[in-house]
Amino acid sequence: MMPGQAINNAAPTPADADDPAPRAGTAPWRRIDARGLACPLPALRLAAAVRRLGPGHYELLADDPAAGRDIPALAAERGWTMAAGAPAGRFRVVVEG
């Protein structure tokens, strides 16, 4: 996959071995790769994925320092929950339906 290319989430990507999975009984994280993109593009990619796929667990990979402000602000604005414990450069968002 090329940096900055959004993944096709028709079949969610399985979590890495070192990543904690979402709560038991829930779907795996749907990953959006926005590395190499300047903000606001990572936030726009995340918002587009949520619009397209609906409620679920999302993990955004972003390396722009502004994402540290933009993604939590987007989540708060939309009523999404930021999941704790994400490694650096990963933003985990839970969207309830």
Residue type, 26: T
For residue 94, give both structure tokens. 């839970």
Q: With bands split at pLDDT 50, 70 and 90, how would you rate the model's confidence at 8?
A: very low
78-89 residue pLDDT tens = 999 999 989 999
**Burial degree of 30 (CB within 10 A; 0-12, 13-18, 19+):** buried
pTM higher than 0.85, yes or no? Answer: no
Listing DSSP states for 22-88 in one string gives SSTTSPPPEEEE-TTPPTTHHHHHHHHHHHHH-SEEEEEE---TTHHHHHHHHHHHHTPEEPTTPPT
Query: Is the CATH number of domain 37-95 3.40.50.720?
Result: no
For residue range 16-45, list pLDDT tens digits in order. 434 555 666 667 899 999 999 999 999 999
Domain boundaries, the chain: 37-95
> pLDDT band for position 60 (50/70/90)?
very high
